[in-house]
Chain A
């Protein structure tokens, strides 16, 4: 019986549970000094002077650096003639007038932007010295919010002539809505979120004998090396990037950002080993944030429930610098029509800069926004025509027979069983009984009302599958094996999963398989982990490498056993090669590998593929105290179908974590700024990161619709988040819909719910 599909506990855990992981801040490099950044306390200002003299005189200060010291970078990238307009499908930052500096030069554009660095013997001295750096700011009006950005009376990048960084999508077509019996239009917000990985950003570096070694808390060591090579003007061969244990990423640790680049540069610039770990306050100001879209939906259809047309217009706030400015709303537009068969669906987006923390990927990266918008729209439509939102969904979901399905928004969905997922989650939750309980409470006029919210979703994983992932597998002379993987786990358990794949294919037990990732000296080519790509790309690469090794081994074993290859069998149960029908003939992996000679027994694979489309349905049950407005999630039931499950333990863990972050968006978390661009949520006291006390245990149902790759796998990492946010938001609104409420923006805080109830009562 294959180990694949069975529950296997993680090989990563004994170390993590006894000694603890080794994160950047745990590393002790000989002669290491600490980096502390000086950051802008204002949202928008000209820098008129920086004086580091007091800092330089402070105890333990090795150096104090500003933009003026950045004289030894590599040459700037050649002007590609695009005038600063990027291909929005590629997540590259905009150049030209939009270029983001490393240290601020003459202007700061968000609270937390790095302005200077002090380097000290220890971190305590660093915090003291940073306070002594004196920066003169001439404040400028802060551009806060979508309207101020669009109005453009203050420009963040005067040379660009606008605050609109990039736009895209299809023009609106009002004719699509003609003939719709019912049209509902609404504008709402998908609010700005902070990823809050428990380990913030961190980097360390040494520069010795012409070689730069950088340890970065990253999801992508190889991409980080490429970036450093370009920025520092060094050959990639002179740079080694290592990802040590990484304490969570969620998309916000893709590659490395300016702060980490500066740490690596500074190590070379002053010739000193350096280490940097940001504080949580810095993290809530300086790590990229997620979401931040204002969405206008227009949904039209007939009273029988059939949706005829859907339009999504997005204003994307990309924060102070246009990093992934076009890419995230591009993904939103791509997935705008969701799992529905809508004859006419289109979307467009406009991305603006504002004086706020830059936006980049955060669990789901553009797809939660798409699902949240259409799931709200479907519920609004259902409310308008007085139908059960489950029935409206069922009527419009892409039926099973239509796969592969060409979405009106562009992608071709590979496989799905959308109606089955919806029905499964409703049955699993006991939907009818829940509606009956809701009716009873409404009848009685209970203070605490019940709300049921659902979502159906499809999402795109491994969107960059054409770039693929690498794996090298070596079977050693002693019968153990090593996997070098291009993927880069930061909690996902790849070491366990890839070892399972080797055991399944070759019969080398997991305990004898070592998995290595995240070191560019050992794995020069690879992409890393984001976008829920790793199992379907990195795992398949490992599987393919194992298959290749098996075929090489067959030849070697045949030679050893003096038999013909076609008579050779691998008994994966015992991990031995045998001649069919002759159990006495038997060669171990050690014997076979030793026979391979100098080249060894090894295979390298670069596996490329196409994106896949996992799907599911969620049902959230909330209780709302109608006197205080406080909503509480009491049950969350999900179907998340990402194809064949390799290890249910790991798969469930990803679903749990995703669900929690999605619920957090619906009910608790938001990054907020005041009118001057000052952050209101720069500590974990104010940024309401969700805790165990706000969540129930989740109810996960099983559904496996295989993908068309050898492992049948799609990506599960972000699906839970994509499904849970709209289900939870819809549930809160459903709880008070009998009071006339049609919509509540996220997060559905108690005050927002209370205000919605009041407003609805005013109109009844």
Chain B
């Protein structure tokens, strides 16, 4: 069947077998290989992307289910090239050493983006709980949690700053 998905703002259209998983559509038809497959039981979260703004496990969705909808992958987070264009979550992962081999990272980053969209000031417990569906073998999660909290903090400061500036204007 023909599937059309808006991926990171661009339309990707392809004729694919009905049973095509969204993660494979992203990796093959959309040519975006950052999102990885880490398991076959929806356990590891390496395949996490945003579907209409909410985190989902793209290995547990058919491409057909995303037809006509919008997907965002880690490749679509940054606002251009260079360190300043990185999303606060990407910046924070780097600053806090929240990645080692990098394989779980795209899914982890998108899960974090979704968490912060729903809860802009999570506690450490809330961060750990929100990431229970994202496995990492390298980091022990310690710095991932620090990265998410740092990103939350940076975003909150930025908002406070913007609000203050607006009040002054």
A binding-site residues for B, Cβ under 8 Å: 9-10, 12-14, 16-23, 25-26, 124, 195-199, 245-248, 250, 279-281, 490-493, 649-650, 652-653, 656-661, 683-685, 689, 691-693, 695, 697-698, 720
Contact = CB atoms under 8 A, between A and B. Distances in A.
A650 B144 contact: no
Given A247-B103, A649-B97, A697-B145, A692 B128 contact: yes
A22 B94 contact: no
B140 A693 contact: no
A20 B97 contact: no
Given A279-B40, A693-B129, A17 B75 contact: no
Contacts of A16: 99, 102, 105
Contacts of A250: 137
B74 A20 contact: yes
B94 A653 contact: no
A618 to B, nearest CB: 13
Given A9-B97, A26-B33, A692-B141, A683 B78 contact: no
B105 A17 contact: yes
Contact of B140 (A9, A199, A248, A695): A695
Given A22-B33, A683-B39, A17 B90 contact: yes
Contacts of B94: 9-10, 13-14, 17
A591 to B, nearest CB: 30
Interface residues of B, number: 57
Contacts of A693: 128-129, 131-132
Interface stretch (B41-49, B64-72, B154-162): B41-49
B83 interface: yes
B137 A248 contact: yes
Interface in B92-134: 93-95, 97, 99-106, 109, 124, 127-129, 131-134
A698 B95 contact: no
Contacts of B11: none
Given A13-B94, A197-B137, A20 B102 contact: yes
A659 B33 CA distance: 30
Interface of B: 17, 19-20, 27, 33-41, 43-44, 46, 74-75, 77-78, 81, 83, 86, 90, 93-95, 97, 99-106, 109, 124, 127-129, 131-146
Contacts of B78: 18
A691 B142 CA distance: 11
Contact of A656 (B38, B81, B103, B139): B139
A226 B77 CA distance: 42
27 contacts: A9-B97, A12-B102, A13-B93, A18-B77, A20-B102, A20-B105, A196-B135, A198-B46, A198-B103, A198-B138, A245-B103, A248-B101, A248-B103, A248-B137, A280-B40, A280-B41, A649-B97, A650-B97, A656-B143, A657-B137, A660-B141, A684-B43, A689-B43, A692-B131, A693-B128, A693-B132, A697-B124
Contacts of B131: 691-693
B123 to A, nearest CB: 12
Nearest to B105: A16
A536 to B, nearest CB: 19
Max chain A C-beta neighbours (<10 A), residue from B36, B104, B132: B36
A26 B35 CA distance: 10
B1 to A, nearest CB: 14
A247 B97 CA distance: 16
A211 B1 CA distance: 41
Given A9-B97, A245-B101, 19 more contacts: A14-B94, A18-B86, A20-B33, A20-B74, A25-B36, A26-B33, A199-B36, A247-B103, A248-B103, A281-B40, A492-B100, A650-B97, A652-B97, A652-B143, A657-B140, A659-B140, A692-B141, A693-B131, A698-B140
